[in-house]
């Protein structure tokens, strides 16, 4: 099948990463990148208090409507003091390192500037302020064709264009998940602004001397709880679906509870699943993550999106097996997004350019079934925490290396090189929590640290192959 026109939806890190691999193939007549914001970089474009909504009603199912701007702003979930929880040596795109003087865990403004520089050469291909409304498959032509409908936010005009392939890379921080809890709507109406999702969190000062519950204890929940716990009334209350061990620092100022079962306006009372009650609660912050949600694909049958827990019908987490001219980039959880998107992008670009075949639909379906047996139907299906992410990145590297050679391409005709994680990368990846903890322990001095070695992590000195195999 001849692919000539490719649409990439999203000019955040994943969209930018895949676009460079598409262009490196020197094959396609057009590569068009749609971005709803007025600049590339996705959610790393910090918006501060602009566009933040205090509406916090239950959102237990994915939205069927595209994300809309609030007062012309597509709100970013980036909060004031956010820095990466991934060291820069692993965060960066393979061929484009952060400047040497960048902090080991770069602040969000540094990441934004890095992405803007990375996007410079792609600007001629990016249509900014273009909100995707619908992506529809038509098989009336000799080959499959995708109709992409979008709104030009500068003119408010609705436009339609046809493509041979569509790559969705719009991320999964657009549709907040808030569980349905008895009394939530009444509380929200009686005390507007006292319940928020982490996507609206910006700074801890408004929680000073307040009684606060933080719901959820994954990456953002831990970070936000640490910030709020420095200023709130103690103990800070942490509610989590699956019990985890609090760090010694958190245990000193926090107390852990199970899920919330009921919220009552009377006495500002919160009841937990074990029957325990807390009264006079001032704030509840839901750090409960986001739905897997792609509203503009809602007409696709069979659907990729169902209950918002994970995607469906994706071969190797990328290709829609019913029509593999549709691909998704960067959607698995617990990954390192920048190199991960490059690994997926290298494979997708080689497939769409015709240099690398896909297996049959039956074989792709078989892989999905086997992966479901191994990982289950729920969230684990889409979770590739270490060491799965390392194995996956290197699997895609090997797969991409099988593509047919073509004169004129870089890397001696083999095409733009995808990332590969050697022993040092895997050693570093296994130690992310320890590295972050050591950095946090330095307080405000952590911004002065530029390398892992300055924190005491030295691969050449400490790497022991047999020990790594047991991690």
- pLDDT exceeds 90 at position 164: yes
Q: Which band of pLDDT confidence, cut at 50, 70 and 90, is reported for residue 139?
A: confident
Q: What pLDDT, on a 0 to 100 scale, did the predictor assign at position 140?
A: 65
Residue 52 in tokens:
């933040």
Summarised one tens digit per residue, pLDDT across range 213-238 is 999 988 788 889 999 999 999 999 99
Query: Considering the entire predicted model, what is its pTM?
Result: 0.94
d(CA 444, CA 423): 31
425 — phi, psi (to 5°)?
A: -65, -45
Q: Are 164 and 3 in contact (CB under 8 A)?
A: yes
pLDDT at 243 over 80: no
Residue with tokens 């195999």: 469
355 pLDDT higher than 60: yes
How far CA 221 is from CA of 72, 74, 134, 290, in Å, comes to 28, 22, 33, 13
Give the model's confidence band at 55: pLDDT under 50 very low, under 70 low, under 90 confident, else very high. Answer: low
C-alpha 74, offset from chain centre: 16
436-465 pLDDT, tens digit per residue, is 989 988 988 999 999 999 999 999 999 988
Residue-level pLDDT at 174: 82
For residue 3, pLDDT beyond 70: yes
Query: Residue 323 has which token pair?
Result: 């029509």
Q: Please write the tens of the pLDDT for every residue from 297-344.
A: 999 999 999 888 899 999 999 999 999 999 999 999 999 999 999 999
Within 10 angstroms of residue 3's Cβ, the number of other Cβ atoms is 20
pLDDT at 56: 62
Distance between CA atoms of residues 450 and 101, nearest Å: 6
Six token digits for residue 327: 């691909």
The CA distance from 284 to 160, in Å, is 43
């Amino acid at each position: 099948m001849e692919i000539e026109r490719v649409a990439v939806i999203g000019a955040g890190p994943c969209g930018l990463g895949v676009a460079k691999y598409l262009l490196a193939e020197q094959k396609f007549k057009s590569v068009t990148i749609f971005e709803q914001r007025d600049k590339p970089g996705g959610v790393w474009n910090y918006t501060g208090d602009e566009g933040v909504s205090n509406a916090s009603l239950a959102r237990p199912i994915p939205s069927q409507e595209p994300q809309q701007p609030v007062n012309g702003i597509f709100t970013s979930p980036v909060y004031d003091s956010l820095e990466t929880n991934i060291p820069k040596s692993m965060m960066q795109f393979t061929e484009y390192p952060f400047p040497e003087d960048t902090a080991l865990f770069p602040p969000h403004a540094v990441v934004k500037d890095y992405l803007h520089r990375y996007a410079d050469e792609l600007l001629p291909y990016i249509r900014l302020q273009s909100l995707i409304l619908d992506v529809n498959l038509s098989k009336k032509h000799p080959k499959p064709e995708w109709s992409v409908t979008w709104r030009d936010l500068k003119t408010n005009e609705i436009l339609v264009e046809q493509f041979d392939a569509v790559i969705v890379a719009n991320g999964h921080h657009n549709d907040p998940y808030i569980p349905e809890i008895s009394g939530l709507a009444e509380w929200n109406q009686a005390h507007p602004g006292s319940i928020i999702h982490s996507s609206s969190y910006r700074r801890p000062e408004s929680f000073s001397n307040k009684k606060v519950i933080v719901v959820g204890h994954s990456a953002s929940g831990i970070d936000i709880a640490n910030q709020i716990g420095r200023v709130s009334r103690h103990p800070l209350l942490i509610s989590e679906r699956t019990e985890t061990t609090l760090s010694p620092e958190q245990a000193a100022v926090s107390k852990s509870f199970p899920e919330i079962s009921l919220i009552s306006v009377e006495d500002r009372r919160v009841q937990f699943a074990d029957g325990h009650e807390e009264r006079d609660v001032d704030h509840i912050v839901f750090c409960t993550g986001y739905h897997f949600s792609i509203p503009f694909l809602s007409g696709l049958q069979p659907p990729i999106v169902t209950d918002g827990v994970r995607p469906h019908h994706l071969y190797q987490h990328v290709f829609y097996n019913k029509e593999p001219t549709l691909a998704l980039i960067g959607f698995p959880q617990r990954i390192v997004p920048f190199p991960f998107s490059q690994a997926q992008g290298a494979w997708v670009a080689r497939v769409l350019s015709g240099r690398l075949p896909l297996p049959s639909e039956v074989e792709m379906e078989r892989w999905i079934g086997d992966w479901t047996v191994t990982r289950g139907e729920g969230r684990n299906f889409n979770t590739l925490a270490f060491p799965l992410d390392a194995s996956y990145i290197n699997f895609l590297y090997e797969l991409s290396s099988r593509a047919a050679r073509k004169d004129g391409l870089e890397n001696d005709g083999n095409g733009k090189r995808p990332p590969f994680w050697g022993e040092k990368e895997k050693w570093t990846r296994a130690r992310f929590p320890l590295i972050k903890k050591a950095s946090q322990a330095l307080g405000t001095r952590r911004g002065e640290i530029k390398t892992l070695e300055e924190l005491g992590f030295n691969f050449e000195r400490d790497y022991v192959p047999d020990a790594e195999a047991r991690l």
